[in-house]
A and B are shown apart, each in its own frame.
Chain A
């Protein structure tokens, strides 16, 4: 393993892990996808070094999608084999996790209320990505990222408001 990869892991690993965890709500899955992402960096590094952080987030997002597809297929297979037996499998949605603090639970519920694209744009924005980087990750034009963010903010705020209204 080269020093460059270890350095990239130290520099970008925590942010990629936090992003993955917030995207899926599952620490173990996030940690596995993080390892897959850096394994990809070792085996098939990007051709240009210009924006390694953006590349890592894009690969991480794709690996997370793959992992979730596999998980949902495995869960479906388990349910067919043993219906009603597997009560405690990891829940796919963040809001179903039992978390320690109410504020944390509220945050998971908010993320859970958003679609994948909304979560992606808000979480990448929270990590400080420029609109052009977010555009590349969600496969849209730079000019439309602002609108996507505004819609995601609206949906998140409406969810929080509804929760407040319902006590």
Chain B
């Protein structure tokens, strides 16, 4: 073997040995090698690398297992039901009296949406959705730009990440805060979902600071980001 470079065959053998997959004869060969042999030196290198990787991987969080979603139906079932619902919408809209028609249209729309995606629906993201982690019990949210007609809604979620979604407002993750930029005439709902670990949210709206104690008010009122807000 080249003293400076481990061969593929030797590496394969040594990893099999480390993983308990080596044949008895291979185990004997390795364990009888002198301590200054290339095999044993390389084994020590691989063991050290293995330990380094193990330590690094152990630092990673284990995500929480979500509930198993119910079975998806074959696509044709969804399509057929959606088509039937569309016919129902049309027929209902054409024939029913107005209050009944409205209720039928709403009901049929709901049915159409449900059959089109029978898996538990997830919120449809806007143009930007971000996730960030937050340190400590406080989160800072800064709103800059020009007031429009937008609304900022704070919600508390189970995920350890901060989630934010906006239709049109620009979202930026800062090192210590989440920044939202709004523009004149913008009518948008920005939803920031805060993890349970956060107790206070400091919201700076165009320089006007408000602090929300989430322990005291689990669902703060939406904050208007427009004139008079």
Contact = CB atoms under 8 A, between A and B. Distances in A.
Interface of A: 1, 5-6, 9, 13-14, 17-18, 21-22, 26-28, 30-31, 34-35, 38-39, 42-43, 78, 82, 85-90, 97-101, 103-104, 106-108, 110, 122-123, 125-126, 130-131, 143-147, 149-151, 153-154, 156-157, 160
Majority SS at the chain A contact face? helix
B128 A108 contact: no
A82 B16 contact: no
Majority SS at the chain B contact face? mixed
Contacts, number: 146
A78 B129 CA distance: 12
Contacts of A38: 68-69
Contacts of B19: 125, 131, 146, 149
Contact of A107 (B21, B46, B59, B69): B59
Contacts of B68: 1, 5-6, 9, 13, 35, 38
Nearest to B21: A131
Contact of A35 (B8, B69, B175): B69
Interface of B: 6, 8-9, 11-16, 19, 21, 46, 48-50, 52-54, 56-57, 59-63, 65-66, 68-72, 119, 127-133, 135, 159, 161, 164, 170-173, 175
